[in-house]
């Protein structure tokens, strides 16, 4: 059909403008090896519609016709898409490419994508400045969750912060390389420096809420450390004086309380509350009466700590979930995705 022929024409046009040095370096399908220079991925499970297209920067047909779908099958498009996906740097980029590369609707769109691919190639191969995007996570679902009022975890927030750092470094490097199309993707997209700073002040790289995130948190954790040390000293004294009644000299935890592992027949030697029993029944996990009050206070402190941590995470999540912030984060994620796809095509 005319549409099918036009599709093949656009692929061939894109191939024709490839530089010889941009030949594919992976085992390729039998035909149209460089077609990915004109292709842009669709999100996983998405249909070929205008909304999807706008999210990835290219307007698509509403739906492939049967001849067009057959054409992609003959071109071994799933294999090609899979190969390109392995060259993406971000989780979202890999998933989007794996779902299937889609052809632009017009030659002008194809030429635009080819130009973006050329810039990515120039950046990585000619200027030897790799586009390092592995620190950019899939923040779109997290922003959407926050918008619905969900409280994000510390790890979620740390991922957002590290992604913002990655985006900031990316934009700086693109500008330093004196490119035009790729830096332009970020011209009207805020890099959320304030949000990044706020998260980093409250949450560390591993997602743990910092002691300094709230005054009460610092005080509670100090009290916990002091009390925990006192309990361990008391248990060490018991171990020293009654080691023959123990199955092991190791202090352990059961039901959020410090306990000792006592030989069942020697239970009378270590008065206290049995918190657990071994599978064989030969070992009892006993909380000695000497540390029971301190253990109880330690649990109370732990509950207070958890409440403060939750409050910190909720406050940060509310900031992320503001409509304007959510919108800007989604725009940033789309811009990074587009650069990732250009880089994947260039590496191919």
pLDDT in tens, 259-295: 999 999 999 999 999 999 999 999 999 999 999 999 9
Find the length of the chain. Answer: 348
Residue 28, pLDDT > 90, answer no
Helix axes 292-320, 323-347, angle to 10 degrees: 80
Give one word for 59, left, alpha or beta, with left for phi > 0 and alpha for psi -120 to 50.
Answer: beta
pLDDT (mean) for 176-181 = 91
- CB 307: neighbour CB atoms within 10 A? 12
Quick one: tokens of 309? Answer: 């941590």
**Where does residue 53 rank: exposed (0-12), middle (13-18), buried (19+ CB within 10 A)?**
buried
Answer with the residue of higher pLDDT: 34 or 138: 138
**Where does residue 180 rank: exposed (0-12), middle (13-18), buried (19+ CB within 10 A)?**
exposed
pLDDT 10s digits, 286-331: 999 999 999 999 999 999 999 999 999 999 999 999 999 999 999 9
pLDDT (mean) for 48-72 = 54
* Whole-structure pTM value: 0.78
- How would you list the strands of the sheet with 257-263, edge to edge? 246-254, 257-263, 283-288, 272-277
Domain boundaries, the chain: 2-127, 140-212+324-335, 215-310
DSSP track, 194-225: HHHHHHHHHB-TTSPBPGGG-HHHHHHHHHHH
Beta-bridge partners for 168: none
pLDDT grade for 65, boundaries at 50, 70 and 90: confident
Mean pLDDT of the chain: 84
pLDDT recorded at residue 73 = 82
Give one word for 128, left, alpha or beta, with left for phi > 0 and alpha for psi -120 to 50.
Answer: left
Q: How far apart are CA 326 and CA 332, in angstroms?
A: 10
pLDDT recorded at residue 102 = 65
- CATH of the domain spanning 215-310: 1.10.1420.10
Q: Rg of the chain over CA atoms, in angstroms?
A: 29
pLDDT recorded at residue 185 = 96
Helical (H) or strand (E) element with 170: helix 154-176
pLDDT grade for 2, boundaries at 50, 70 and 90: very low
pLDDT (mean) for 169-186 = 94
Burial 119-145, CB ≥16 within 10 A → b, else e: bbbbbbeeeeeebebebbbbbbebbeb
pLDDT recorded at residue 121 = 93
pLDDT grade for 60, boundaries at 50, 70 and 90: very low
Task: Please provide the distance, in angstroms rounded to a whole number, between the alpha carbons at the two ends of the chain.
Answer: 30
- Strands (E) across the chain are located at 40-41, 101-102, 246-254, 257-263, 272-277, 283-288
Q: In whole angstroms, how far apart are CA 213 and each of 44, 86, 100, 152, 325?
A: 37, 39, 44, 16, 21
Residue 93, pLDDT > 90, answer yes
- CB 9: neighbour CB atoms within 10 A? 12
Quick one: tokens of 310? Answer: 């939750």
pLDDT 10s digits, 214-254: 999 999 999 999 999 999 999 999 999 999 999 999 999 99
Which residue is associated with the tokens 């949000």? 195
Question: Around 200, how many Cα atoms within 13 Å sit in the side-chain half-sphere?
Answer: 11
pLDDT (mean) for 174-197 = 94
Beta-bridge partners for 32: none
């Amino acid at each position: 059909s005319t549409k099918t022929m036009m599709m093949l024409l656009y692929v061939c046009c894109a191939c024709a403008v490839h530089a010889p040095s941009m030949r594919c370096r992976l085992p390729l399908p039998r035909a149209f090896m460089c077609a990915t220079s004109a292709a842009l991925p669709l999100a996983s499970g998405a249909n070929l519609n205008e909304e999807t297209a706008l999210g990835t920067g290219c307007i698509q047909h509403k739906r492939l016709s049967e001849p067009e779908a057959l054409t992609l099958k003959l071109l071994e498009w799933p294999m090609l898409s899979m190969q390109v996906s392995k060259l993406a740097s971000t989780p979202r980029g890999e998933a989007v490419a794996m779902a299937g590369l889609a052809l632009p609707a017009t030659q002008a769109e194809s030429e635009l994508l080819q130009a973006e691919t050329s810039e990515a190639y120039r950046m990585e191969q000619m200027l030897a400045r790799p586009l390092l995007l592995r620190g950019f996570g899939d923040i779109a679902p997290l922003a959407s969750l926050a918008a619905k009022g969900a409280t994000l975890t510390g790890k979620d927030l740390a991922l957002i912060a590290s992604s913002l750092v990655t985006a900031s470094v990316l934009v700086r490097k693109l500008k330093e390389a004196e490119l035009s199309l790729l830096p332009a993707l970020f011209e009207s997209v805020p890099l959320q420096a304030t949000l990044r700073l706020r998260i980093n002040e409250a949450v560390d790289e591993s997602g743990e809420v910092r002691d300094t995130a709230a005054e009460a948190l610092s005080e509670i954790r100090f009290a916990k450390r002091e009390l925990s040390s006192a309990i361990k000293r008391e248990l060490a004294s018991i171990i020293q004086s009654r080691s023959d009644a123990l199955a092991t000299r190791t202090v352990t935890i059961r039901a959020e309380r410090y306990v000792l592992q006592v030989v069942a027949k020697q239970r009378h030697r270590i008065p206290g509350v049995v918190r657990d029993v071994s599978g064989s029944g030969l070992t009892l996990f006993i909380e000695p009466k000497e540390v029971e009050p301190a253990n109880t206070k330690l649990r109370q402190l732990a509950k207070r700590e958890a409440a403060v941590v939750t409050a910190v995470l909720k406050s940060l999540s509310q900031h992320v979930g503001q409509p304007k912030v959510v919108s800007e984060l989604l725009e940033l994620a789309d811009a990074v995705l587009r650069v990732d796809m250009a880089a994947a095509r260039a590496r191919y």
